[in-house]
Chains A and B, each alone.
Chain A
Amino acid sequence: MDDSDDEYVDSYAVDSVQPRQRHPRRKRDGKSSGDAGADSQPQGYAWEDEYHRSWDVVQEDSGGSLAGVVAGMVEQAKRKRVLHDTRPVQRGIIRNIVLILDMSFAMADVDMRPNRLQVMINYAIEFVNEYFNQNPISQLAIVGMRDGIAVLVSPLDGNPNVHLDNLQALRKQYGSGVPSLQNALEMAKVILMHVPSHCTKEVLLIFGALMSSDPGDINKTISDLVLNKIRVRIIGLAAQVAVCQRLTAETNFGDKSMYNVVLNEAHFRDLFLESTTPLSINKLAARSQSACVEMGFASRVNEAKPSLCTCHGRLTKRSYTCPRCLAKVCSLPMVCPCCQLTLILSTHLARSYHHLFPLENFERKETNLEPSASCFGCMTPLDHAYACPKCHNSFCIDCDVYCHESLHNCPGCEAITT
C-alpha cells in the first residue's frame, strides 16, 4: 500500500476472497446514488454505466416550469436525511472515541477549499460539539498522523472545551510528512486500554492519503484491535484503500458500512456527523460486558462569595456539590476528585434517551389531501403530508425533519393527554 497505483490490484486481490468486493465504487456511492440496494445483483463498474446527465432526470411540467420538479427534489433530499433506523436497539451510550486526524502532506490538497486540513478541522469542531451534545457522558481523545508518527493532539477527556481549544491550535499547522496508520492505531489502542468494559471503544479515522508508512505489520495491529474490541470507522478523502476496508470490516464484525469515501464537502460533513450517533450494540452485546455504574447526581449552588473548587483550584461562584463527600466541583460531568464518584446531572442522561427511544419515521401520505389540510405542528397548509404512524396526524416536510433531527418528539403523540 505504499503507492496509490497499487490500489486497483489490491482491490482485485481482495476480490478473489470476497466476490462481492468487485465493485469498489459501490460502497462509495451507496449514500448518494441510491444503488446500494442492488448489492445482490452483479453490476458493472460505475464507469461502464451509461452516463446520467443531471438534466435528463428533470422533466418540465405542463406549464414548462421546473419549479414543481425542483421543489420535489428538494423535498426528497430533505426526506433522505430524516429516515433513520428507528428499530429499538441497544446502543453503546457511554462512548470513548479516539478521533484520528490525518495531518500528512495529503491534507494540503486544495480539492476542498481552502484546503483539506482546514475543512477537516472545521468539521471536527462541529463534530466535537455535536458529539458531546448527543453523548454527554462520553469521552474523546484526538490523535494526529504526521511525519510518519502519531502525535497526541488532545488527551482523553469529557470536556469539549479542551478539545476545541486544541483543535483551534491545529489551524496554524500545515500538513507535512507521510501518515502512519499503524502508529496512530497503536496510540489509540493505548489510550483506550484502560477504558472499562461497559463503555464502547471506538476509533474515527479521517484518512486523506492513499498510503501509509508503517514500522511493522499492520495486520498484527488489526488483530490486536479486534482483540481489544475497538471498533474503527474510517472516512476517506481520496479513494478507497483496501487495508482500510479490511480494517473496518474486521473490527466491526464484518460490517462494511463503516468505511466511506467522501464525494464532496457536504457529504464529508454528513459522514462526520453521522458518527455522533451511538453505535448499535446488538452484535457487540455478546462479547461486551454490561455493568451497573454508581453515579452521583449533583445539585447546583450559587454562592454569594466565590470559593475554591476541588477540581481546578479556581475561584467560582457557581458550582456543584458531590452528594457523597460534599466536595465542590466547577463543571460536570466529572469524577469527584475526592471520593472518585462519577458526578453527573440527571439531564446528561436525559440527553441520551432519544437514542434509546427513537421517534418513529413518519410515513408519506399518498392519499389526496383535503384542501384545507394543514400541518399539525406549524399550521402551514400542506402540499404533501407525512403522517406519524402512532397518532396519525399529518405534518409538513420541514416539521418532519425538525422533529426527527432536533426535537425527537412527535407533536401529535405529545398532545394525547393522560
Chain B
Amino acid sequence: MDGVDDTSAVLQAAGLHQPPVEEAPSLLCVIIDTHAEGWHKLEGWSFKETMASVMVLLNAHMALSNANDVAVLGFNGMGPRMVYPQKEDAPLSDVKLEGTMYRQFHKMDKTVLAALATQLQETTVNKHCSISAPLTLALCYTQRIMRQRPGTRGRILLVSVTGDVPSKYISTMNSIFAAQKAHIPIDVCKLGGEKTNLQQAADFTGGAYIDIAHPRGLVQYFMSTFLIDPATRQMLNQATQPEVDFRAVCFLTKEVVEIGHVCSVCLCIMKDEPDGSCPICHTVFESTQLPSFT
C-alpha cells in the first residue's frame, strides 16, 4: 500500500492514526533443577529459600497482567516433569487454602512447592538429566500455548545447579536453535555447577545469563532482571556477557580445541589431523593436503 496514496499521511496529520501500545500476554516457563546432589553441593543455599524467591517471581509475573501465565517444570535423574499446570484431569491436590492472599497465587505456590519438594526427595544416584529434556518439553508446551492464544509471547527461565550431560550436546543445541527461531528467550540463572553451554543458550536467544554466587538478594536479581518482559528489555540497557565461550570440543579426545579439523561429510571435530579417513563416518579423504574452506 505504501506510496499508492497518502491516506495514511493525511490521517497521521489529523492525529487519527495512533499505534496502539499494548502489552502482549506472556507465558513464563520456569525450569527448576531438582538434582538433589546438586543442591547438596551448593554452599550456603537452601532449596526452600531459593524456591521462596522463585515463587515471588512467579507471583509477580502473574501480578503484572491478568493475561499472563506461568508454567513450572522440574527435572532430575528421573527425567523432566511438568509441575504446573497439572494435567487437566489430574485430581486437584488437596491444599488447604487460607483467605490470606490472592487465591490463584496460593494455589499455584502450594502445588509447585509440594511437587518440587517431592522431586528433591527422589534419590537418583549417578543419574543425570540433560537440560535438553526440560527445554524440549518447555518448548512444546510454549508452542501449544502460543497456538491456543495467538499473540502470547513465551520465555523460559532456567534455574540450574548442576552441569550438563555432554552426550546430549546436539539435542541441547537443537532446542536452543528452536527457541531462537520461535523468539523465545532463555534466561539462565546459574547457582552452581560448571560452566556449560547454558551461556550460549542465553546468548543465542537473547536471554539474560547470571551466575549468582551468593544467595542474599536473590529476590532482587529475579525482580530486576528475570521479571522484565522481553519487549520491555529492548528498551533497557542490559548487562552483556563479556566473553562467551564458543570453542568446540574434540569428538575423540573431548578436549576443548581452538583450531580443529572438521570432516566435510559428518562435521565431526578433531583436534589432530586424522590420517586418511574420518574416524567417525569412515569417509576416505582424497588428499592429505588440506584445502581451504572456500
Contacts and interface: CB of A to CB of B under 8 A. Distances in A.
A199 B136 CA distance: 32
Nearest to B276: A292
Given A298-B246, A335-B293, A414-B133, A90 B265 contact: yes
Contact of A351 (B177, B244, B291, B294): B177
Nearest to A374: B87
Nearest to B275: A292
Contact of A345 (B78, B140, B147, B246): B246
B259 A324 contact: yes
B243 A196 contact: no
Contacts of B266: 90, 356
A237 interface: no
Given A199-B264, A293-B293, A349-B248, A418 B167 contact: yes
A320 B243 CA distance: 10
B62 interface: no
Contact of A299 (B79, B82, B244, B286): B244
Contact of A415 (B80, B200, B274, B281): B80
Contacts, number: 219
A343 B163 CA distance: 28
A14 interface: no
Contacts of A285: 283
A353 to B, nearest CB: 5
Which range holds the interface residue count of chain A?
Answer: 35 or more
A389 interface: no
Interface residues of B, number: 75
Contacts of A335: 292-294
Given A290-B278, A379-B141, A93 B293 contact: no
B265 A411 contact: no
Interface string A279-310: 00100010001111111111111100000000
Given A297-B248, A377-B137, A379-B82, A281 B291 contact: no
Interface string B165-201: 1011111011101100110000000000000000010
Nearest to B267: A349
Contact of B267 (A199, A302, A356, A398): A356
Given A196-B291, A351-B177, A346 B247 contact: yes
Contacts of B127: 417-418
A349 B243 contact: no
B257 interface: yes
Contacts of B129: 415, 417
Most buried by A among B167, B168, B246, B266: B246
A408 B255 CA distance: 26
Interface string B259-277: 1111111110110011000
Contacts of A402: 139-140, 143
A94 interface: yes
Contacts of A324: 259
Given A324-B259, A417-B78, A295 B87 contact: no
A195 interface: yes
B284 interface: yes
A357 interface: yes
Interface string B119-142: 000001001111011001101110
B175 A409 contact: yes
Interface in A373-418: 374-375, 377-381, 398-399, 402-403, 406-411, 414-418
Contact of A417 (B128, B246, B261, B262): B128
B246 A93 contact: no
Given A297-B257, A399-B140, A414-B136, A350 B242 contact: no
B231 interface: no
9 contacts: A197-B291, A299-B247, A342-B292, A351-B173, A351-B177, A377-B136, A398-B144, A417-B77, A418-B167
List 8 A-B pairs, minimum CB-CB distance, nearest first: A377-B140, A342-B293, A346-B248, A378-B144, A323-B258, A289-B286, A350-B173, A198-B264
Given A90-B281, A289-B287, A351-B173, 5 more contacts: A289-B286, A291-B264, A407-B175, A411-B133, A414-B130
Interface of B: 77-80, 82, 87-89, 124, 127-130, 132-133, 136-137, 139-141, 143-144, 147, 165, 167-171, 173-175, 177-178, 181-182, 200, 204, 240-249, 257-267, 269-270, 273-274, 278, 281, 283-287, 290-294
